Structure 1
Amino acid sequence: MDPVVDEPVPIKAIPLRRPGRVIAAVVVLVLAGLFIYGAATNKAYGWATYRKYLFDQRISAAAWTTIQLTVLAMAIAVVLGVLLAVMRLSPNPVLRSASWVYLWIFRGTPVYVQLVFWGLFPSLYKTIVLGIPFGPQFAHFDIQGLSAAFAFAVIGLGLNEAAYMAEIVRAGINSVDEGQTEASVALGMSWSLTMRRTVLPQAMRVIIPPTGNELISMLKTTSLVTAVPYSKELYGVARDISGTNFQPIPLLLVAATWYLAVTSVLMVGQFYLERYYSKGVSRKLTTKQLKAMAGMAGGGGDAQ
Protein backbone atom coordinates (compact mmCIF):
# COMPACT_ATOMS: atom_id res chain seq x y z
CA MET A 1 0.00 0.00 0.00
CA ASP A 2 1.46 3.29 -1.10
CA PRO A 3 2.06 5.88 1.62
CA VAL A 4 -0.21 8.89 1.62
CA VAL A 5 1.60 11.97 0.30
CA ASP A 6 0.32 15.32 1.48
CA GLU A 7 -0.41 17.73 -1.37
CA PRO A 8 1.63 20.95 -1.24
CA VAL A 9 -0.20 23.98 0.03
CA PRO A 10 -0.73 26.43 -2.86
CA ILE A 11 1.13 29.71 -2.53
CA LYS A 12 -1.12 32.70 -2.10
CA ALA A 13 0.58 35.53 -4.01
CA ILE A 14 -0.19 38.98 -2.64
CA PRO A 15 0.55 41.81 -5.09
CA LEU A 16 2.68 44.67 -3.87
CA ARG A 17 0.75 47.69 -2.81
CA ARG A 18 1.70 50.81 -4.72
CA PRO A 19 -0.15 53.71 -3.13
CA GLY A 20 1.87 56.25 -5.08
CA ARG A 21 0.39 55.10 -8.39
CA VAL A 22 -3.15 55.26 -7.01
CA ILE A 23 -2.61 58.74 -5.60
CA ALA A 24 -1.07 59.97 -8.86
CA ALA A 25 -3.97 58.55 -10.90
CA VAL A 26 -6.53 60.17 -8.59
CA VAL A 27 -4.77 63.55 -8.81
CA VAL A 28 -4.64 63.38 -12.62
CA LEU A 29 -8.32 62.43 -12.88
CA VAL A 30 -9.36 65.20 -10.48
CA LEU A 31 -7.36 67.83 -12.36
CA ALA A 32 -8.74 66.61 -15.71
CA GLY A 33 -12.29 66.69 -14.37
CA LEU A 34 -11.84 70.19 -12.98
CA PHE A 35 -10.46 71.44 -16.30
CA ILE A 36 -13.29 69.84 -18.31
CA TYR A 37 -15.93 71.24 -15.95
CA GLY A 38 -14.35 74.70 -16.02
CA ALA A 39 -14.12 74.72 -19.82
CA ALA A 40 -17.70 73.46 -20.22
CA THR A 41 -19.11 76.18 -17.96
CA ASN A 42 -16.93 79.01 -19.28
CA LYS A 43 -18.95 81.10 -21.72
CA ALA A 44 -15.77 82.61 -23.18
CA TYR A 45 -15.15 79.37 -25.09
CA GLY A 46 -18.27 80.02 -27.15
CA TRP A 47 -19.50 76.44 -27.35
CA ALA A 48 -22.64 77.48 -29.22
CA THR A 49 -20.51 79.03 -31.96
CA TYR A 50 -18.27 75.95 -31.88
CA ARG A 51 -21.23 73.64 -32.54
CA LYS A 52 -22.52 75.96 -35.25
CA TYR A 53 -19.32 75.96 -37.32
CA LEU A 54 -17.94 72.49 -36.54
CA PHE A 55 -19.60 70.94 -39.62
CA ASP A 56 -19.96 74.14 -41.61
CA GLN A 57 -19.52 73.58 -45.35
CA ARG A 58 -16.68 76.11 -45.55
CA ILE A 59 -14.79 74.37 -42.75
CA SER A 60 -15.22 70.88 -44.23
CA ALA A 61 -14.13 72.15 -47.66
CA ALA A 62 -11.07 73.77 -46.06
CA ALA A 63 -10.26 70.49 -44.28
CA TRP A 64 -10.32 68.68 -47.64
CA THR A 65 -8.02 71.34 -49.10
CA THR A 66 -5.65 70.83 -46.17
CA ILE A 67 -5.58 67.08 -46.86
CA GLN A 68 -4.81 67.77 -50.52
CA LEU A 69 -1.96 70.10 -49.57
CA THR A 70 -0.58 67.46 -47.21
CA VAL A 71 -0.76 64.55 -49.63
CA LEU A 72 0.65 66.41 -52.64
CA ALA A 73 3.47 68.03 -50.66
CA MET A 74 4.43 64.70 -49.08
CA ALA A 75 4.37 62.98 -52.47
CA ILE A 76 6.90 65.52 -53.75
CA ALA A 77 8.92 65.21 -50.55
CA VAL A 78 9.11 61.40 -50.62
CA VAL A 79 10.12 61.16 -54.28
CA LEU A 80 12.64 63.98 -54.06
CA GLY A 81 13.88 62.79 -50.66
CA VAL A 82 14.68 59.32 -52.00
CA LEU A 83 16.51 60.89 -54.94
CA LEU A 84 18.51 63.20 -52.66
CA ALA A 85 19.40 60.35 -50.30
CA VAL A 86 20.64 58.21 -53.17
CA MET A 87 22.65 61.19 -54.43
CA ARG A 88 24.21 61.63 -50.96
CA LEU A 89 25.34 58.01 -51.02
CA SER A 90 26.43 58.06 -54.65
CA PRO A 91 30.12 57.58 -55.50
CA ASN A 92 29.81 60.59 -57.82
CA PRO A 93 31.23 63.66 -55.98
CA VAL A 94 29.12 66.10 -58.01
CA LEU A 95 25.87 64.38 -57.02
CA ARG A 96 26.98 64.19 -53.38
CA SER A 97 27.83 67.89 -53.32
CA ALA A 98 24.58 68.94 -55.00
CA SER A 99 22.55 66.93 -52.50
CA TRP A 100 24.49 68.36 -49.55
CA VAL A 101 23.95 71.94 -50.75
CA TYR A 102 20.22 71.33 -51.16
CA LEU A 103 19.92 69.96 -47.62
CA TRP A 104 22.05 72.81 -46.26
CA ILE A 105 19.77 75.46 -47.76
CA PHE A 106 16.35 73.95 -47.06
CA ARG A 107 17.17 72.68 -43.57
CA GLY A 108 18.98 75.86 -42.62
CA THR A 109 16.16 78.31 -43.38
CA PRO A 110 12.70 78.46 -41.73
CA VAL A 111 9.80 77.00 -43.70
CA TYR A 112 7.83 80.23 -43.19
CA VAL A 113 10.60 82.22 -44.90
CA GLN A 114 10.64 79.74 -47.78
CA LEU A 115 6.86 80.04 -48.21
CA VAL A 116 7.13 83.83 -48.28
CA PHE A 117 9.78 83.46 -50.98
CA TRP A 118 7.46 81.26 -53.07
CA GLY A 119 4.74 83.85 -52.65
CA LEU A 120 7.11 86.45 -54.12
CA PHE A 121 8.25 84.12 -56.89
CA PRO A 122 6.20 85.95 -59.58
CA SER A 123 8.07 89.13 -58.68
CA LEU A 124 11.41 87.45 -59.36
CA TYR A 125 10.50 85.68 -62.58
CA LYS A 126 8.00 87.23 -64.94
CA THR A 127 8.05 84.32 -67.35
CA ILE A 128 9.64 80.88 -67.52
CA VAL A 129 10.82 79.60 -70.89
CA LEU A 130 11.79 75.96 -71.44
CA GLY A 131 14.04 75.34 -74.39
CA ILE A 132 17.56 75.51 -75.75
CA PRO A 133 19.45 78.84 -75.34
CA PHE A 134 19.44 80.71 -78.64
CA GLY A 135 17.48 77.77 -80.03
CA PRO A 136 13.96 76.41 -80.19
CA GLN A 137 11.64 76.97 -77.24
CA PHE A 138 9.38 74.17 -76.05
CA ALA A 139 7.18 75.89 -73.47
CA HIS A 140 6.44 79.40 -72.23
CA PHE A 141 4.78 80.20 -68.88
CA ASP A 142 3.51 83.62 -67.83
CA ILE A 143 4.06 83.49 -64.06
CA GLN A 144 2.43 86.83 -63.26
CA GLY A 145 -0.70 85.93 -65.17
CA LEU A 146 -0.86 82.57 -63.45
CA SER A 147 -2.98 82.34 -60.29
CA ALA A 148 -1.11 79.51 -58.66
CA ALA A 149 -1.06 80.17 -54.93
CA PHE A 150 -2.08 76.56 -54.25
CA ALA A 151 0.68 75.22 -56.51
CA PHE A 152 3.32 77.46 -54.91
CA ALA A 153 2.14 76.33 -51.46
CA VAL A 154 2.52 72.67 -52.45
CA ILE A 155 5.94 73.30 -54.00
CA GLY A 156 7.16 75.24 -50.98
CA LEU A 157 6.04 72.61 -48.49
CA GLY A 158 7.27 69.71 -50.63
CA LEU A 159 10.75 71.11 -51.29
CA ASN A 160 11.27 71.93 -47.62
CA GLU A 161 10.09 68.51 -46.45
CA ALA A 162 12.25 66.74 -49.06
CA ALA A 163 15.37 67.82 -47.18
CA TYR A 164 14.18 66.04 -44.03
CA MET A 165 12.93 63.00 -45.93
CA ALA A 166 16.36 62.67 -47.54
CA GLU A 167 17.97 62.25 -44.12
CA ILE A 168 15.31 59.74 -43.07
CA VAL A 169 15.84 57.67 -46.21
CA ARG A 170 19.62 57.90 -45.86
CA ALA A 171 19.38 56.59 -42.28
CA GLY A 172 17.19 53.72 -43.50
CA ILE A 173 19.64 52.83 -46.25
CA ASN A 174 22.57 52.87 -43.82
CA SER A 175 20.66 50.50 -41.52
CA VAL A 176 20.81 47.73 -44.15
CA ASP A 177 23.73 45.37 -43.64
CA GLU A 178 26.60 45.88 -46.06
CA GLY A 179 26.57 42.19 -46.83
CA GLN A 180 23.31 42.71 -48.72
CA THR A 181 25.00 45.19 -51.04
CA GLU A 182 28.04 42.98 -51.46
CA ALA A 183 25.84 40.01 -52.35
CA SER A 184 23.99 42.08 -54.96
CA VAL A 185 27.26 43.25 -56.50
CA ALA A 186 28.47 39.65 -56.57
CA LEU A 187 25.35 38.76 -58.55
CA GLY A 188 26.32 41.37 -61.14
CA MET A 189 23.74 43.99 -60.17
CA SER A 190 24.60 47.64 -60.79
CA TRP A 191 24.66 50.22 -58.00
CA SER A 192 21.32 51.75 -58.98
CA LEU A 193 19.70 48.32 -59.37
CA THR A 194 21.07 47.28 -55.97
CA MET A 195 19.44 50.35 -54.42
CA ARG A 196 16.08 49.67 -56.07
CA ARG A 197 15.88 45.90 -55.63
CA THR A 198 17.87 45.14 -52.47
CA VAL A 199 18.56 48.11 -50.20
CA LEU A 200 15.46 50.31 -50.36
CA PRO A 201 12.89 47.49 -49.80
CA GLN A 202 14.75 46.43 -46.64
CA ALA A 203 15.20 50.03 -45.49
CA MET A 204 11.43 50.62 -45.47
CA ARG A 205 11.18 49.13 -41.97
CA VAL A 206 13.31 52.01 -40.67
CA ILE A 207 11.92 54.66 -43.03
CA ILE A 208 8.18 54.19 -42.42
CA PRO A 209 7.86 55.26 -38.74
CA PRO A 210 9.56 58.68 -39.07
CA THR A 211 7.84 59.22 -42.42
CA GLY A 212 4.48 58.80 -40.71
CA ASN A 213 5.52 61.37 -38.14
CA GLU A 214 6.59 63.76 -40.89
CA LEU A 215 3.21 63.28 -42.62
CA ILE A 216 1.39 64.24 -39.44
CA SER A 217 3.73 67.19 -38.99
CA MET A 218 3.09 68.25 -42.58
CA LEU A 219 -0.65 68.32 -41.90
CA LYS A 220 -0.08 70.89 -39.18
CA THR A 221 2.54 72.82 -41.18
CA THR A 222 -0.06 73.58 -43.84
CA SER A 223 -1.36 76.29 -41.49
CA LEU A 224 1.71 78.33 -42.51
CA VAL A 225 0.74 78.59 -46.19
CA THR A 226 -0.90 81.93 -45.37
CA ALA A 227 2.61 83.25 -46.03
CA VAL A 228 2.31 82.44 -49.75
CA PRO A 229 -0.43 83.85 -49.36
CA TYR A 230 -3.01 81.07 -49.56
CA SER A 231 -5.91 81.14 -47.11
CA LYS A 232 -8.28 78.41 -48.30
CA GLU A 233 -6.88 75.74 -45.99
CA LEU A 234 -8.34 74.90 -42.60
CA TYR A 235 -6.65 77.47 -40.40
CA GLY A 236 -7.01 80.23 -43.00
CA VAL A 237 -10.77 79.70 -43.39
CA ALA A 238 -11.29 79.50 -39.61
CA ARG A 239 -9.36 82.75 -39.22
CA ASP A 240 -11.40 84.45 -41.94
CA ILE A 241 -14.67 83.39 -40.30
CA SER A 242 -13.50 84.58 -36.90
CA GLY A 243 -12.63 87.92 -38.50
CA THR A 244 -16.29 88.41 -39.40
CA ASN A 245 -17.98 87.23 -36.18
CA PHE A 246 -15.17 88.38 -33.82
CA GLN A 247 -15.08 85.02 -32.00
CA PRO A 248 -11.60 83.60 -32.59
CA ILE A 249 -11.60 81.11 -29.70
CA PRO A 250 -14.46 78.83 -30.85
CA LEU A 251 -13.15 78.92 -34.44
CA LEU A 252 -9.70 77.91 -33.24
CA LEU A 253 -11.32 75.01 -31.38
CA VAL A 254 -13.13 74.02 -34.56
CA ALA A 255 -9.86 73.98 -36.52
CA ALA A 256 -8.12 72.05 -33.73
CA THR A 257 -10.91 69.44 -33.72
CA TRP A 258 -10.55 68.85 -37.45
CA TYR A 259 -6.76 68.65 -37.17
CA LEU A 260 -7.11 66.08 -34.38
CA ALA A 261 -9.62 64.04 -36.38
CA VAL A 262 -7.44 63.84 -39.50
CA THR A 263 -4.31 63.21 -37.42
CA SER A 264 -6.04 60.31 -35.64
CA VAL A 265 -6.88 58.67 -38.98
CA LEU A 266 -3.28 59.09 -40.14
CA MET A 267 -1.97 57.57 -36.92
CA VAL A 268 -4.15 54.48 -37.42
CA GLY A 269 -2.86 54.11 -40.98
CA GLN A 270 0.71 54.54 -39.76
CA PHE A 271 0.20 51.78 -37.18
CA TYR A 272 -0.92 49.21 -39.76
CA LEU A 273 1.78 50.25 -42.22
CA GLU A 274 4.48 49.86 -39.59
CA ARG A 275 3.12 46.44 -38.63
CA TYR A 276 3.17 45.36 -42.27
CA TYR A 277 6.82 46.32 -42.82
CA SER A 278 7.95 44.90 -39.46
CA LYS A 279 6.99 41.33 -40.44
CA GLY A 280 9.75 38.91 -39.62
CA VAL A 281 11.49 41.34 -37.25
CA SER A 282 9.45 40.99 -34.07
CA ARG A 283 9.47 37.70 -32.16
CA LYS A 284 5.83 38.16 -31.24
CA LEU A 285 3.64 35.96 -33.41
CA THR A 286 0.53 37.36 -35.05
CA THR A 287 -2.90 35.73 -34.74
CA LYS A 288 -2.66 34.37 -38.30
CA GLN A 289 0.74 32.80 -37.57
CA LEU A 290 -0.55 31.20 -34.36
CA LYS A 291 -3.53 29.71 -36.22
CA ALA A 292 -1.23 28.35 -38.93
CA MET A 293 1.03 26.74 -36.34
CA ALA A 294 -2.00 25.23 -34.57
CA GLY A 295 -3.23 23.80 -37.87
CA MET A 296 0.18 22.28 -38.60
CA ALA A 297 0.30 20.76 -35.12
CA GLY A 298 -3.20 19.29 -35.55
CA GLY A 299 -2.28 17.84 -38.91
CA GLY A 300 0.86 16.27 -37.47
CA GLY A 301 -1.16 14.66 -34.64
CA ASP A 302 -3.57 13.12 -37.09
CA ALA A 303 -0.74 11.73 -39.14
CA GLN A 304 0.63 9.96 -36.12
Structure 2
Amino acid sequence: MKLHFDLGTVLQGDYGALFLHGIEMTLAMAALAWLLSLVVGVLLTIVRMTQFRAAEALVGAYVAYHRNVPMLVQILFWYFGISNILPLALQDLLNQYNSQFIFAVIAIGLCSAAYLTEDIRSGLRAISYGQIEATRALGLNFFDGMRFVVLPQALRYAIPPMINNAVVLLKNTSLAMAIGAAELTYVTRQIENETFLSFESYSVATFVYLGLSLVIMLCGARIAMHYRTPGVK
Protein backbone atom coordinates (compact mmCIF):
# COMPACT_ATOMS: atom_id res chain seq x y z
CA MET A 1 0.00 0.00 0.00
CA LYS A 2 1.45 3.35 -1.08
CA LEU A 3 1.28 6.18 1.43
CA HIS A 4 0.39 9.64 0.17
CA PHE A 5 1.81 12.61 2.08
CA ASP A 6 0.36 15.91 0.88
CA LEU A 7 2.06 18.52 3.03
CA GLY A 8 1.90 21.21 0.36
CA THR A 9 -1.89 21.45 0.51
CA VAL A 10 -1.97 22.44 4.17
CA LEU A 11 0.93 24.90 3.88
CA GLN A 12 -0.03 26.83 0.77
CA GLY A 13 -2.68 29.40 -0.06
CA ASP A 14 -5.44 30.10 2.44
CA TYR A 15 -4.46 27.17 4.65
CA GLY A 16 -0.91 28.41 4.98
CA ALA A 17 -2.19 31.87 5.90
CA LEU A 18 -4.52 30.27 8.43
CA PHE A 19 -1.60 28.45 10.03
CA LEU A 20 0.36 31.71 10.26
CA HIS A 21 -2.62 33.42 11.87
CA GLY A 22 -2.90 30.60 14.40
CA ILE A 23 0.80 30.86 15.25
CA GLU A 24 0.51 34.63 15.70
CA MET A 25 -2.49 34.20 17.99
CA THR A 26 -0.69 31.53 20.01
CA LEU A 27 2.42 33.68 20.48
CA ALA A 28 0.38 36.77 21.40
CA MET A 29 -1.75 34.78 23.84
CA ALA A 30 1.29 33.15 25.44
CA ALA A 31 3.21 36.43 25.74
CA LEU A 32 0.34 38.38 27.29
CA ALA A 33 -0.63 35.54 29.63
CA TRP A 34 2.99 35.18 30.77
CA LEU A 35 3.28 38.91 31.46
CA LEU A 36 0.03 38.78 33.45
CA SER A 37 1.25 35.76 35.39
CA LEU A 38 4.55 37.49 36.16
CA VAL A 39 2.86 40.64 37.50
CA VAL A 40 0.31 38.71 39.56
CA GLY A 41 2.92 36.19 40.72
CA VAL A 42 5.23 38.93 42.01
CA LEU A 43 2.33 40.70 43.75
CA LEU A 44 1.25 37.46 45.41
CA THR A 45 4.81 36.89 46.59
CA ILE A 46 4.98 40.38 48.09
CA VAL A 47 1.63 39.91 49.83
CA ARG A 48 2.80 36.59 51.23
CA MET A 49 6.03 38.16 52.50
CA THR A 50 4.09 40.70 54.60
CA GLN A 51 3.50 37.79 57.01
CA PHE A 52 -0.05 38.86 57.82
CA ARG A 53 -2.02 35.69 58.47
CA ALA A 54 -5.10 36.86 56.56
CA ALA A 55 -2.98 37.82 53.53
CA GLU A 56 -1.09 34.53 53.62
CA ALA A 57 -4.38 32.63 53.84
CA LEU A 58 -5.79 34.48 50.82
CA VAL A 59 -2.67 33.78 48.76
CA GLY A 60 -2.72 30.15 49.87
CA ALA A 61 -6.36 29.83 48.82
CA TYR A 62 -5.59 31.44 45.46
CA VAL A 63 -2.72 29.06 44.81
CA ALA A 64 -4.71 26.01 45.95
CA TYR A 65 -7.65 26.88 43.69
CA HIS A 66 -5.62 27.48 40.55
CA ARG A 67 -3.34 24.47 41.08
CA ASN A 68 -6.16 22.00 41.76
CA VAL A 69 -8.84 23.09 39.28
CA PRO A 70 -8.07 22.05 35.66
CA MET A 71 -7.07 25.00 33.50
CA LEU A 72 -9.70 24.05 30.92
CA VAL A 73 -12.40 24.45 33.57
CA GLN A 74 -10.98 27.84 34.52
CA ILE A 75 -11.04 28.99 30.89
CA LEU A 76 -14.65 27.85 30.51
CA PHE A 77 -15.56 29.50 33.83
CA TRP A 78 -14.17 32.85 32.72
CA TYR A 79 -15.73 32.74 29.25
CA PHE A 80 -19.16 31.33 30.10
CA GLY A 81 -19.42 32.26 33.78
CA ILE A 82 -17.63 35.52 34.56
CA SER A 83 -18.57 37.09 31.23
CA ASN A 84 -22.27 36.65 31.94
CA ILE A 85 -22.17 38.66 35.17
CA LEU A 86 -20.44 41.63 33.56
CA PRO A 87 -22.45 44.70 32.50
CA LEU A 88 -23.96 44.36 29.02
CA ALA A 89 -21.99 47.35 27.74
CA LEU A 90 -18.73 45.72 28.83
CA GLN A 91 -19.79 42.39 27.29
CA ASP A 92 -20.45 44.11 23.96
CA LEU A 93 -17.09 45.88 24.14
CA LEU A 94 -15.25 42.64 24.83
CA ASN A 95 -17.05 40.89 21.98
CA GLN A 96 -15.87 43.63 19.62
CA TYR A 97 -12.25 42.99 20.61
CA ASN A 98 -12.20 39.17 20.50
CA SER A 99 -13.54 38.18 23.91
CA GLN A 100 -12.37 34.58 23.41
CA PHE A 101 -8.77 35.76 23.21
CA ILE A 102 -9.12 38.16 26.15
CA PHE A 103 -10.73 35.66 28.53
CA ALA A 104 -8.25 32.96 27.53
CA VAL A 105 -5.34 35.29 28.35
CA ILE A 106 -6.88 36.16 31.72
CA ALA A 107 -7.63 32.56 32.69
CA ILE A 108 -4.26 31.18 31.58
CA GLY A 109 -2.34 34.10 33.08
CA LEU A 110 -4.05 33.91 36.48
CA CYS A 111 -3.63 30.15 36.63
CA SER A 112 0.04 30.32 35.70
CA ALA A 113 0.58 33.02 38.34
CA ALA A 114 -0.19 30.43 41.02
CA TYR A 115 2.73 28.32 39.80
CA LEU A 116 4.96 31.32 39.21
CA THR A 117 4.57 32.63 42.74
CA GLU A 118 5.70 29.22 44.04
CA ASP A 119 8.74 29.45 41.74
CA ILE A 120 9.59 32.87 43.15
CA ARG A 121 8.97 31.60 46.67
CA SER A 122 11.53 28.85 46.08
CA GLY A 123 13.96 31.55 44.94
CA LEU A 124 13.33 33.45 48.17
CA ARG A 125 14.32 30.39 50.17
CA ALA A 126 17.77 30.57 48.57
CA ILE A 127 18.32 34.06 50.00
CA SER A 128 19.76 34.28 53.49
CA TYR A 129 17.71 36.08 56.11
CA GLY A 130 20.67 38.38 56.59
CA GLN A 131 19.81 40.03 53.26
CA ILE A 132 16.41 41.06 54.62
CA GLU A 133 17.99 42.31 57.84
CA ALA A 134 20.49 44.29 55.77
CA THR A 135 17.65 46.16 54.03
CA ARG A 136 16.31 47.21 57.42
CA ALA A 137 19.79 48.27 58.55
CA LEU A 138 19.99 50.48 55.45
CA GLY A 139 16.74 52.15 56.44
CA LEU A 140 14.68 50.69 53.60
CA ASN A 141 11.02 50.00 54.25
CA PHE A 142 9.47 46.62 53.44
CA PHE A 143 8.47 47.44 49.86
CA ASP A 144 11.74 49.17 48.93
CA GLY A 145 13.69 46.28 50.42
CA MET A 146 11.68 43.79 48.38
CA ARG A 147 11.97 45.89 45.23
CA PHE A 148 15.67 46.71 45.29
CA VAL A 149 17.28 43.85 47.21
CA VAL A 150 15.19 40.73 47.82
CA LEU A 151 13.05 40.22 44.71
CA PRO A 152 15.84 40.82 42.15
CA GLN A 153 17.86 38.05 43.80
CA ALA A 154 14.86 35.74 44.13
CA LEU A 155 14.01 36.18 40.44
CA ARG A 156 17.56 35.24 39.46
CA TYR A 157 17.32 32.01 41.43
CA ALA A 158 13.84 31.33 40.03
CA ILE A 159 14.73 31.71 36.34
CA PRO A 160 15.00 27.95 35.55
CA PRO A 161 11.56 27.01 36.94
CA MET A 162 10.08 30.17 35.44
CA ILE A 163 11.31 29.09 32.00
CA ASN A 164 9.72 25.68 32.49
CA ASN A 165 6.51 27.45 33.46
CA ALA A 166 6.68 29.51 30.27
CA VAL A 167 6.92 26.34 28.16
CA VAL A 168 3.94 24.82 29.96
CA LEU A 169 2.00 28.05 29.48
CA LEU A 170 2.70 28.01 25.74
CA LYS A 171 1.34 24.49 25.45
CA ASN A 172 -1.70 25.33 27.57
CA THR A 173 -2.78 28.00 25.08
CA SER A 174 -4.11 25.08 23.03
CA LEU A 175 -6.92 24.73 25.60
CA ALA A 176 -8.33 28.05 24.39
CA MET A 177 -9.74 26.24 21.36
CA ALA A 178 -12.56 25.10 23.68
CA ILE A 179 -14.01 28.62 23.63
CA GLY A 180 -13.30 29.26 19.95
CA ALA A 181 -10.06 31.24 20.22
CA ALA A 182 -8.38 30.93 16.83
CA GLU A 183 -4.97 29.82 18.10
CA LEU A 184 -2.80 27.14 16.49
CA THR A 185 -4.70 24.06 17.66
CA TYR A 186 -8.03 25.58 16.68
CA VAL A 187 -6.93 26.43 13.13
CA THR A 188 -5.23 23.04 12.80
CA ARG A 189 -8.49 21.30 13.54
CA GLN A 190 -10.29 23.61 11.12
CA ILE A 191 -7.81 22.82 8.33
CA GLU A 192 -8.02 19.10 9.07
CA ASN A 193 -11.83 19.21 8.87
CA GLU A 194 -11.72 20.96 5.50
CA THR A 195 -8.91 18.98 3.86
CA PHE A 196 -9.26 15.57 5.61
CA LEU A 197 -5.46 15.60 5.81
CA SER A 198 -5.22 14.69 9.48
CA PHE A 199 -1.62 13.48 9.55
CA GLU A 200 -0.29 16.45 7.62
CA SER A 201 -2.26 19.04 9.58
CA TYR A 202 -1.33 17.78 13.03
CA SER A 203 2.26 17.14 11.94
CA VAL A 204 2.63 20.86 11.18
CA ALA A 205 1.10 21.81 14.54
CA THR A 206 3.32 19.31 16.35
CA PHE A 207 6.53 20.66 14.86
CA VAL A 208 5.49 24.27 15.45
CA TYR A 209 4.82 23.62 19.14
CA LEU A 210 8.05 21.67 19.41
CA GLY A 211 10.02 24.42 17.70
CA LEU A 212 8.54 27.19 19.84
CA SER A 213 9.16 25.22 23.03
CA LEU A 214 12.78 24.59 22.08
CA VAL A 215 13.29 28.28 21.32
CA ILE A 216 11.92 29.23 24.75
CA MET A 217 14.15 26.67 26.47
CA LEU A 218 17.26 27.76 24.56
CA CYS A 219 16.61 31.44 25.23
CA GLY A 220 15.87 30.59 28.86
CA ALA A 221 19.16 28.74 29.18
CA ARG A 222 21.02 31.78 27.84
CA ILE A 223 19.16 34.09 30.23
CA ALA A 224 19.81 31.78 33.18
CA MET A 225 23.50 31.64 32.31
CA HIS A 226 23.71 35.42 31.97
CA TYR A 227 22.04 36.09 35.32
CA ARG A 228 23.60 33.14 37.12
CA THR A 229 24.59 34.04 40.68
CA PRO A 230 28.40 33.89 41.02
CA GLY A 231 29.52 30.78 42.83
CA VAL A 232 26.26 28.89 42.12
CA LYS A 233 26.45 26.09 39.58
TM-score, normalised with respect to structure 1: 0.70
- Among 126, 136, 151, the residue aligned to 1:175: 126
For 1:47 and 1:149, locate their aligned partners in 2 and report how far apart those are by CA, in whole Å. 30
Matched, 1:69 2:29: yes
Task: Give the Å deviation of 1:91.
Answer: 2.1
SS of alignment partner, residue 43 of structure 1: coil
**Is the deviation greater in 245-254 or in 72-81?**
245-254
Identity fraction in percent: 31
- Among 143, 156, 173, the residue aligned to 2:91: 143
SS of alignment partner, residue 188 of structure 1: coil
- Among 198, 202, 208, the residue aligned to 1:248: 198
Task: Give the Å deviation of 1:200.
Answer: 1.0
RMSD value, Cα: 2.3
For 1:181 and 1:169, locate their aligned partners in 2 and report how far apart those are by CA, in whole Å. 16
For 1:271 and 1:236, locate their aligned partners in 2 and report how far apart those are by CA, in whole Å. 30
Q: Measured at CA, do residues 279 and 174 of structure 1 come closer, stay the same or move farther in structure 2, by a change above 3 Å?
A: closer
- Among 81, 86, 91, the residue aligned to 1:121: 81
Q: Measured at CA, do residues 194 and 256 of structure 1 come closer, stay the same or move farther in structure 2, by a change above 3 Å?
A: same
Q: Deviations over 1:116-158 (max 9, x none)?
A: 1112036631417xxxxxxxxxxxx432563111100100100
Which structure carries more relative contact order (alpha carbon 8 Å, separation 6+)?
2
1:158 aligned partner: 109
Task: Give the Å deviation of 1:94.
Answer: 2.2
**Is the deviation greater in 265-274 or in 154-163?**
265-274
Q: Which has the higher Rg, Structure 1 or Structure 2?
A: 1
Q: Measured at CA, do residues 235 and 211 of structure 1 come closer, stay the same or move farther in structure 2, by a change above 3 Å?
A: same
Counterpart contact for 1:153–1:230, Cα < 8 Å:
no
2:189 aligned partner: 239
For 2:45 and 2:229, locate their aligned partners in 1 and report how far apart those are by CA, in whole Å. 25
1:205 aligned partner: 156
For 1:144 and 1:199, locate their aligned partners in 2 and report how far apart those are by CA, in whole Å. 43
For 1:156 and 1:91, locate their aligned partners in 2 and report how far apart those are by CA, in whole Å. 27
TM-score, normalised with respect to structure 2: 0.90
Task: Give the Å deviation of 1:162.
Answer: 0.7
For 1:89 and 1:279, locate their aligned partners in 2 and report how far apart those are by CA, in whole Å. 22
Task: Give the Å deviation of 1:249.
Answer: 1.5
Q: Which runs of 5+ in 1 are unaligned?
A: 1-40, 129-140, 284-304
For 1:68 and 1:262, locate their aligned partners in 2 and report how far apart those are by CA, in whole Å. 13
Task: Give the Å deviation of 1:45.
Answer: 5.4
Structure with the higher fraction of residues in helix conformation:
2
Counterpart contact for 2:37–2:109, Cα < 8 Å:
yes
SS of alignment partner, residue 182 of structure 2: coil
